[in-house]
Structure 1
Amino acid sequence: MKNIVFASIIILLAISCGSHNTTQFASSGSTNDTIKIANDSIGYEVIIIEPGFNSYINSIARPRGYYSQNYLENKNQLWVREWNSRVNQPFRYDPNLYEMQIDYNAGTDYGYEVNYLLYNYLVYFQNKYKQSLFGFVPHN
């Protein structure tokens, strides 16, 4: 569990110009994966740092297009709300697992790729750490 200190998901709202999506996959060894998605037109950046997530997204996760964007957005809204609730309860939930809040606004169209990666990160997180966010049953 100490490795989770290095693993986090950060959604930062940044102010910048432009109108393109950028997805970068960078692996810095078997202990740390980093995936970054940015869309300058609406000013957001997502950075996912989690050991094994890059391998999961490329080999185990359902392929892009399997779920609709609406499905992904609905799941993300429920799970992010529960995640953020747990961040605010460090004596009830492990603060090494729930380090920081996820800034996810239901009224913002983040596009398919952000919703896909966030959804799959939350599935991966729940399975890896045997957590159950609202309405999820982890696989063994």
Structure 2
Amino acid sequence: MKLLKQVIFLFTAGIFFWACGSSPRNNQNVEKEKPVVIANDSLEYEITIIDIGFNTFLNSIAKPEGFYSQNYLEARNSVWVFEWNQRVRNPQQFNTSIYENTIDYQLNTDYGYEVNYKLFNYFLFAQQKYKMNLGGGFRTNRIN
């Protein structure tokens, strides 16, 4: 059971896109961006997101903490995690540099507000950045 709770999920897509290169000027900005860690210490649950632009999105575009209820975030996350994991399991149809790892998100586990908030916002960010739709009827705003 502890193994289910002790999840370390690393979005290496950011590293892949960073390694593929962009202009030197952009790389200077990339080096300044820190990974976003989503953690609940009491559950020993941690996700580290290293996807260029997410930190900026979280700090400047995302709705503030408290805007959504935890129940709402959990409902959205359960739909999006399910779809994400389906895509990870279907590498012939979906880009494996984006959908690299499954997310162990248990519906009966209370991860707390912060974990759900950051995970929800990562899904919003990823849907815009990678021009994907994870379903669930939620429309995202365009990222500039």
Matched to 1:56, the amino acid is F
Partner of 1:33: helix, strand, or coil? Answer: coil
Q: 1:5 to 1:112 in 2, by over 3 A?
A: closer
Aligned residue in 1 for 2:125: 124
- C-alpha distance in structure 2 between counterparts of 1:5 and 1:50, whole Å: 4
Report the aligned-residue RMSD: 2.2
Show the 5 A alignment for 1:1-140: 4=13, 6=15, 30-31=29-30, 32-135=33-136, 136-140=138-142
Q: How many residues align?
A: 119
Asked if the contact 1:130/1:138 (under 8 Å) is kept, the reply is no
Structure 2 gap segments, 5+ residues each: 1-11, 17-26
Please report how far the alpha carbon of residue 35 of structure 1 lies from its aligned counterpart in structure 2 after TM superposition. Answer: 1.1
TM-score calculated relative to the size of structure 1:
0.77
Distance in 2, Cα, partners of 1:139 & 1:79: 17
Task: Give the gaps of 5 or more residues in structure 1.
Answer: 8-27
Q: Pick closer, same or farther for the CA change 1:72–1:56 going to 2, 3 Å.
A: same
Structure in which a larger fraction of residues adopt strand: 1
